[in-house]
Structure 1
Amino acid sequence: MRGLVKTLGACAVIGAGLGWFLTAPDPLEPAFGAGLTADPEAGGLVFAAGGCVSCHAAPGAEGDGKQVLAGGLAFASDFGTFYAPNISPDPNAGIGAWSLPGFARAVTRGVSPDGQHYYPAFPYAAYQHMQDQDVVNLFAYMQTLPADPTPSKAHDVGFPFNIRRSLGGWKLLFMQDEFALSGEHSPEVTRGRYLAEGLAHCAECHTPRNALGGLDRSQWLAGAPNPSGKGRIPNITPGKLDWSESDLVAYFATGFTPDYDSAGGEMAEVVGNLAQLPQSDREAIAAYLKAVPAVP
């Protein structure tokens, strides 16, 4: 019996050590961005494609006030309520004291400058696809925005989801670095895939999730329950959405559907972001949506 207890104890210690190792936050090259020249103007387009304003502007902000990324917007979920943080250039309340490598690690790895996992309400599982140059440009652009001293609001998340280290396990399970639309494609579709699966993180809303909050990649863009509890976010695969590419491009620029309806709710914000992109990028996203597998 003593031998069995010792064996079980040793296995428990080894298992705990292995779990601690596997859930460690991912590192990032300390010299990230070396040799790249920042272009804040190009970063503004990355900022628009990424929808940063939609989440990080203060609730109710309008006009130029949306450029003040004070945070505070609430995101209800089955795991608790998350609040968008202050990501303005304020050195204390925001990210003004962050380095470029620290910023890149947060955006593409979901790890804070002090080495803690971020919750995946921050769509880093999509942003991991960002090209280094786009990260550098985005960081440069965000330094040009107004600073705001509003402290970030703490998330309202209970046990066991408040154990940050466990998010390392979530990342192992669900943070896949392969694109959902695999294989070789035309340059236009490839660009659309980068925008839709990466920067614009379309799947975060349009793909259903499993019990642990991971995206069900077998139902990619097939629609999902609205977290607000009101209605359903639609299926935008060719299995349901029968709009032409030109219809999609027009919708991304104006918000008007082929039936002369208009985008509402969160999608109106998305259209406002996509309308700032070059026409070629809207055409690329439309081509991508026509290329994804149809889901009835």
Structure 2
Amino acid sequence: MIARFVRWLLCVLGVLAIALGVGYVVFAPTPLPAEHWAGLGEPDVKNGEMVFWAGGCVSCHAAPGAEGDARLTLGGGLALKSPFGTFHVPNISPDEKVGLGGWTLADFGDAMKRGVGSHGEHLYPAFPYGSYTRVTDKDINDLWGFLKTLPKSGNVAPPHDLPFPFDIRLGIGLWKFLYLDDQPRVALDNPDERVKRGQYLVEGPGHCGECHTPRDALGGFVKDQWLAGAPNPEGKGRIPNITPASKSMGSWSESDIVNYLETGFTPDFDTVGGSMTDVQKNIARLPASDREAIAAYLKAVPGR
């Protein structure tokens, strides 16, 4: 009897060991091959700066409350509250000790497109690589070139404050398995080049859906509610619906959206507020053609 129980227990443990091994392989970090980042050439730093503003890097990585040129010192430290705990934004300045100064283009590219850190670890999707995975390799190379021109900072951000089990990074592999892909968020019928550019900016570097799309219990986007509005992840108010069916923005014309992104004024002369204030300031630095492309895309997406 005891021998049968021991055999049964060993079989169970063996199955569990195999399952854990398979799970580790399936959910382990998967950086891109090193050769993926070879041959991109010298970065176009001017284009990199435009990608920088489109991506809103300063909104999270500048010191809280920084103004003017101080916003370009990306020492991190901002606390991002979420249902999963509090994330502390890291230093991404070119500092060699506590920033990205010791990183390579491949390290940076894998963080952007695969959510993998320089030590081969999963990065938490509070860093919106779920959107950045759509950024082209050229734009990543150009952005990397621009980031290296910015001031260094020795600031060390606090570690993330996450309860169990969210502090176990291997679990992020399951999240990536379920949600991480580089396909378009919505299928559009015969979009012209301007709408395609807008789709790239909104779904990729602009990562607009990270705030404007509701999430399920695991933190992934509810796919059929793209840009339909969501609870504020920091707990106060609601991030608005920006699809054509929105009760507020639905009546806006493309030119209304363009003007809002450039000036911060709504058609009824209200002004941008909340976290959108920084976003608007960043987008205002883009070429007018990019703001027009964003507006064209927002009028082309399905209304929700």
- Which TM-score band applies after superposition, normalised by the shorter structure? over 0.9
Q: CA 1:271–1:155 in structure 2 vs 1: closer, same or farther (change >3 Å)?
A: same
In the alignment, structure 1 residue 114 sits paired with structure 2 residue 114: no
Counterparts of 1:96 and 1:294, CA distance in 2: 44
Q: Which residue of 2 aligns with 1:80?
A: 85
Counterparts of 2:237 and 2:282, CA distance in 1: 23
Displacement after TM superposition at 1:281 (Å)? 0.6
TM-score (norm 1): 0.97
> Rg bigger for which structure?
2
In the alignment, structure 1 residue 259 sits paired with structure 2 residue 268: yes
Residues 141-183 of structure 1 show CA distances to partners (whole Å, capped at 9, x for unaligned) of: 0000000111122111121111011101111011132111225
TM-score (norm 2): 0.94
Counterparts of 2:152 and 2:203, CA distance in 1: 30
In the alignment, structure 1 residue 5 sits paired with structure 2 residue 14: no
In the alignment, structure 1 residue 181 sits paired with structure 2 residue 190: no
Q: Which residue of 1 aligns with 2:136?
A: 131
Tell me the SS of whatever aligns to 1:75: strand
Query: Where do 4+ consecutive residues of structure 1 move more than 2 Å?
Result: 1-10
Residues 218-275 of structure 1 show CA distances to partners (whole Å, capped at 9, x for unaligned) of: 1110000112222111000111122110100110100100010010111010110110
Counterparts of 1:141 and 1:239, CA distance in 2: 38
Displacement after TM superposition at 1:213 (Å)? 0.9
Counterparts of 1:60 and 1:171, CA distance in 2: 33
Q: Which runs of 5+ in 1 are unaligned?
A: none
Counterparts of 2:176 and 2:233, CA distance in 1: 21
- Count of aligned residue pairs for this structure pair: 295
Displacement after TM superposition at 1:53 (Å)? 0.3
Q: Which residue of 2 aligns with 1:15?
A: 19
Displacement after TM superposition at 1:5 (Å)? 3.0
Does the CA-based 8 Å contact 2:77-2:156 persist in structure 1?
A: no
Tell me the SS of whatever aligns to 1:199: coil
Counterparts of 1:39 and 1:234, CA distance in 2: 35
In the alignment, structure 1 residue 30 sits paired with structure 2 residue 25: no
Counterparts of 2:235 and 2:131, CA distance in 1: 24
Residues 165-206 of structure 1 show CA distances to partners (whole Å, capped at 9, x for unaligned) of: 110111101113211122542111111111000000000000
In the alignment, structure 1 residue 235 sits paired with structure 2 residue 244: no
In the alignment, structure 1 residue 155 sits paired with structure 2 residue 160: yes
Give me the CA root mean square deviation. Answer: 1.1
Instruction: Please give the residue correspondences for 1:212-227 in structure 2 after superposition, counting only pairs within 5 Å.
Output: 212-227=218-233
Q: Which runs of 5+ in 2 are unaligned?
A: none
Q: Which residue of 2 aligns with 1:164?
A: 169
